[in-house]
Amino acid sequence: MRPLLLSTLLASFLWSAPVGGVSVLVKNTPITMYEIQEEMKQSGTSAKQSADTLIRKKLEQLEAQEKKITVSSAEINEEIQRMAAQNNLSVDQFINAMQTVRGLDEKGLKAKVSESITGQKLYNSIAFSKMGQPSAEEEAEYYQLHLDEFSRPESFDVTTYFAASQEALQAKIADPMRHIESIQSKEENIPYGAINPQLAQIMNKIPVGSFGPILPNGQNGFMSFYMRDKQNVVTENLDSVRPQIDNMIVGEKRNQVLNDYFTRLRLSADIKVLRLPE
């Protein structure tokens, strides 16, 4: 009777667990329905895709624990200071910019930075050899393949749409001709140098004639830019962006190593998908 009783108790615990119940077990560590639903909202992906993302994160967390990898508050603060300086912003300005552009408050930003540092330490612990700097040929090839990333206009001609809810903006983007009372809009010319670098990068990726992503507007609402035109686009030369290109190439190689490692790890890990949100 005891095995049956334990099994019954375990099932009862899993299905009555708080915040929506357990959805997935990764090495007996739970991922809840609530966590998957939140990931679905934030990423706009399906339940399966969101579960896959969280399984990968959970594997990273468990692997970091096994390898006794930790990240200190000092390391997180130093990285935020570095990122702020890289964008020519003070730390406070950078935190405010991330709140406006990414919807990340200071706590959320620090969590993301901690994940990034953990990933770097994990890479260092599993890489079989030190990665060399990209060659001049690799830099030139990357530059040619990503010219759009190194081009910027003097200013953006946009129509900016504002709403209290993401759903209203999503409806407008899906049907631009539809009139929605709760949405306000205004036509603007926004100089590239007048906005923070994070927002400038996002706007620069919006094709002319298209809507950009829905962003927090810093006033408990949301906004989206419709890109009407980009004025006086110039492309930076290769020499001026070599450090940026090197970081991108090294980052891509590092991510590939980590992806391969965790793909193999997932195949051998004890993962049970109990149920997913519908």
Confidence band of 129 (pLDDT split at 50, 70, 90): low
Q: What ranges in the chain are assigned the alpha helix state H?
A: 2-15, 33-43, 47-66, 73-86, 91-102, 106-126, 136-145, 166-174, 197-204, 238-268
Ramachandran quadrant class, 185 (left: phi over 0; alpha: psi -120 to 50; beta: rest): beta
Q: 41-87, pLDDT tens digit by residue? A: 878 789 999 999 999 999 999 999 999 999 999 999 999 999 888 87
pTM over 0.75: no
Lateral strand order in the sheet of 184-191: 184-191, 155-163, 222-231, 215-216
